[in-house]
């Protein structure tokens, strides 16, 4: 059979199929079953027809689009495929195996494993974004050809953008994909492992999430939250106000509060059971609900009606979501209260609770002053896991009785701090009003005032 019938000039001059004549595609033969398939839409795709040595069936394998894949490259790929056929290998099956060895395929497998492990959508989305630069750089290459220099090139580009905090998470996620490749037998070493420190600029040290750290500051925050006006825009929704109030009382993570379901709440028993799938540490967490919180949630239930969520998303919102209130809503509400991002955050309610609970003191009968709450009780209330893995595995005590007392104390403390802030605000407002009155009267000379009154009396 004749080979190499086509030329670039012949390809460019080829007439496309005419749908009016019933033509859907047209094949230009180069020889030895290699064709350039022309589509009515103007597409030009390389195709090789062969008989599979595995099952003796006629099959077709594509080599890409012309002119991205030129004539010489298409012939080279066709020769490689024919060599596989002569060796008893189906080239379409071999291609699938080759594609499974690419960084892109392995990254996809990694994300699928994370999804099956119960990772939240936000976590999966972040992992996908972190792997994006690597996939763009060498996603379609065999993972065994990726070197430490390739990985460093990705990190350098992130550094050049100024996103220093993204460098290490990106490297770590690439390393996890390479770990999957090692487990699959595709590579022996991890090219990202040697790039942990010193190869790129170090990000500045992280600052703690902004929070109210003194009783006065926290009381003022509570006063502002409780003063939020609810209603139609520009006022906030009652669910938003209740969410901030629950964050203040319960000290749970914002995501755990936003996604809370009524099926998790037992108002009669005063217990909130957060399932493991919704917690950061993937461990079920019980939250005691004191009387003030039960009252708050009872009133909220009347607002949301039959919704399964405590804080349902706004009907007719800008885009579909998971069904509950968006992650930016608490932060936007805090901005509405006059707090900048560097002053107060939604997560900061937990820091305020931890700071003030650890600082609380109790005076014993012998005048000895001791911490009001043991640190392990406060940490367990925050759903923190013991850093000592062995101790955490054996110590199953969740300090429930102490945490019930702590929750009741904290709710009363919040209420007391809020009322104190209300009193300070009322006093300051009265003082400010008196000052404004005095400022209006001071510039007016007494003679002018009397003269004006005399003129009025004449009239």
pLDDT for res 69 = 83
Q: What is the CA radius of gyration of the chain?
A: 34
Nearest to 246 by CA among 340, 324, 156, 142: 324
Is residue 152 pLDDT above 70, yes or no?
A: yes
Q: State the virtual CA torsion across 85, 88, 90, 94 in degrees, nearest 10.
A: -100
Q: Is residue 251 part of a domain?
A: yes
Let me know how long the chain is: 459
Together in a domain, 191 and 234: no
Q: CA-to-CA distance for 60 and 50, rounded, in angstroms? A: 6
Q: Which two tokens stand for residue 200?
A: 């790129």
Q: Model confidence over 108-121: pLDDT tens digits?
A: 999 998 888 877 78
Quickly count helices (H) and strands (E) in the chain: 17, 9
Sheet with strand 265-266: strands edge to edge:
265-266, 271-274, 285-288
- Indicate the residue among 63, 96, 129 that finishes a domain: 96
Transcribe 386-424 into DSSP letters.
Answer: PSSHHHHHH-----HHHHHHHHHHHHHHHHHHHHHHHHH
CATH number assigned to the domain comprising residue 127: 1.10.150.130
For 272, which DSSP code?
A: E
Q: What is the pTM of this model?
A: 0.62
Together in a domain, 161 and 55: no
Together in a domain, 68 and 163: no
Please say whether the beta carbons of 317 and 237 come within 8 A.
Answer: no
- Indicate the residue among 53, 79, 96 that finishes a domain: 96
Could you tell me the pLDDT band of residue 458, with boundaries at 50, 70 and 90? very low
Q: Is residue 229 part of a domain?
A: yes
Together in a domain, 146 and 189: yes
Q: Model confidence over 168-193: pLDDT tens digits?
A: 999 999 999 999 989 888 888 999 98
**Sign, CA torsion 109/115/117/120:** positive
Together in a domain, 130 and 248: no
Q: CA-to-CA distance for 435 and 157, rounded, in angstroms? A: 58
**Sign, CA torsion 162/165/167/173:** negative
Q: Does a cis peptide bond (omega within 30 degrees of 0) precede residue 405?
A: no
pLDDT for res 451 = 34
Q: CA-to-CA distance for 285 and 398, rounded, in angstroms? A: 9
Is residue 137 pLDDT above 80, yes or no?
A: yes
Q: CA-to-CA distance for 6 and 13, rounded, in angstroms? A: 11
SS3 293: helix
Nearest to 59 by CA among 31, 16, 95, 26: 95
Together in a domain, 47 and 90: yes
Together in a domain, 38 and 135: no
Together in a domain, 178 and 239: no
**Residues paired with residue 65 on neighbouring β-strands, in sequence order:** 45
Q: Is residue 394 part of a domain?
A: yes
Distance set, CA 120 to CA 32, 106, 282, 327, 415 (Å): 52, 20, 10, 13, 34
Together in a domain, 92 and 130: no
Together in a domain, 270 and 389: yes
Q: Is residue 123 part of a domain?
A: yes
Nearest to 348 by CA among 331, 361, 332: 331
Q: Does a cis peptide bond (omega within 30 degrees of 0) precede residue 67?
A: yes
Q: 87 or 18, which is more confident?
A: 18
CA angle 272, 277, 280 (to 5 degrees): 85
Tally of domains in the chain: 3
Q: CA-to-CA distance for 177 and 135, rounded, in angstroms? A: 11
Nearest to 293 by CA among 255, 329, 246: 246
Range of the domain at 296: 215-404
Q: Is residue 157 part of a domain?
A: yes
Burial letters 78-103, b for 16+ CB under 10 A, else e: beebbebbeeebbbbeeeeeeeebbb
Q: Is residue 427 part of a domain?
A: no
Is residue 296 pLDDT above 90, yes or no?
A: yes
pLDDT for res 103 = 92
CA angle 140, 142, 147 (to 5 degrees): 105
Is residue 448 pLDDT above 50, yes or no?
A: no
Q: Model confidence over 359-380: pLDDT tens digits?
A: 999 888 888 888 999 999 999 9
- Indicate the residue among 404, 436, 451 that finishes a domain: 404
Q: Is residue 446 part of a domain?
A: no
Q: What percent of the chain has pLDDT over 90?
A: 38
pLDDT for res 243 = 96
Please say whether the beta carbons of 103 and 182 come within 8 A.
Answer: no
Name the average pLDDT for the chain.
Answer: 83
CATH number assigned to the domain comprising residue 74: 3.30.160.390
Together in a domain, 185 and 44: no
Q: Model confidence over 98-111: pLDDT tens digits?
A: 667 889 989 999 99
Together in a domain, 238 and 320: yes
Give 179's contacts (C-beta < 8 A, 6+ positions apart): 190
Q: Model confidence over 46-62: pLDDT tens digits?
A: 888 888 887 788 888 88
CATH number assigned to the domain comprising residue 284: 1.10.443.10
pLDDT for res 442 = 41
H/E run at residue 28: strand 25-31
Distance set, CA 68 to CA 38, 43, 45, 56, 98 (Å): 15, 12, 10, 31, 21
Q: Is residue 3 part of a domain?
A: no
């Amino acid at each position: 059979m004749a080979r190499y019938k086509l030329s670039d000039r012949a390809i460019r001059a080829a007439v496309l199929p005419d749908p009016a004549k019933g033509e859907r595609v047209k094949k230009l033969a180069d020889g030895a079953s290699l064709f350039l398939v022309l589509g009515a839409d103007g597409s030009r795709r390389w195709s090789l027809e062969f008989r599979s040595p595995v099952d003796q069936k006629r099959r077709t394998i594509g080599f890409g689009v012309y002119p991205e894949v030129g004539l010489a490259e298409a012939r080279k790929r066709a020769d490689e495929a024919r060599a596989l056929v002569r060796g008893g290998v189906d080239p379409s099956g071999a291609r699938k195996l080759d594609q499974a060895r690419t960084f892109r395929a392995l990254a996809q497998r990694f994300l699928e494993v994370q999804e099956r492990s119960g990772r939240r959508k936000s976590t999966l989305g972040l992992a996908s974004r972190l792997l994006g630069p690597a996939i763009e750089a060498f996603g379609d290459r065999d993972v065994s050809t990726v070197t430490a220099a390739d990985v460093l090139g990705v990190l350098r580009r992130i550094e050049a953008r100024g996103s220093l905090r993204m460098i290490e998470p990106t490297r770590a996620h690439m390393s996890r994909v390479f770990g999957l490749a090692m487990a699959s037998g595709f590579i022996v070493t991890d090219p990202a492992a040697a790039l942990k420190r010193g190869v790129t600029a170090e990000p500045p040290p992280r600052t703690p999430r902004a929070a109210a750290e003194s009783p006065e500051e926290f009381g003022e925050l509570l006063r502002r939250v409780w003063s939020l006006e609810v209603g139609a825009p520009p006022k906030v929704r009652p669910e938003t106000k209740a969410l901030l109030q629950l964050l203040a009382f319960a000290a749970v993570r914002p995501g755990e509060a936003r996604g809370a379901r009524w099926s998790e709440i037992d108002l009669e028993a005063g217990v909130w059971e957060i399932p493991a799938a919704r917690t950061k540490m993937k461990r079920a967490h019980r939250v005691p609900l004191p009387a003030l919180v039960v009252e708050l949630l009872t009133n909220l239930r009347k607002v949301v009606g039959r919704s399964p969520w405590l804080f349902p998303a706004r009907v007719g919102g800008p885009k579909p979501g998971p069904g509950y209130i968006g992650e930016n809503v608490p932060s936007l509400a805090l901005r509405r209260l006059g707090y900048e991002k560097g002053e107060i955050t939604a997560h900061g309610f937990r820091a305020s609770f931890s700071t003030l609970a650890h600082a609380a003191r109790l005076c014993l009968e012998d005048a000895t002053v001791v911490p009001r709450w043991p640190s392990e009780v406060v940490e367990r209330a925050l759903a923190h896991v013991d850093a000592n893995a062995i101790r955490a595995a054996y110590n199953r005590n969740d300090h429930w009785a102490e945490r019930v007392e702590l929750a009741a104390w904290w709710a009363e403390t919040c209420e007391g701090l809020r009322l104190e802030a209300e009193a300070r605000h009322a006093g300051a407002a009265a003082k400010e009003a008196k000052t404004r009155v005095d400022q209006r009267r001071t510039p007016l000379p007494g003679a002018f005032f009397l003269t004006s009154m005399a003129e009025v009396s004449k009239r």
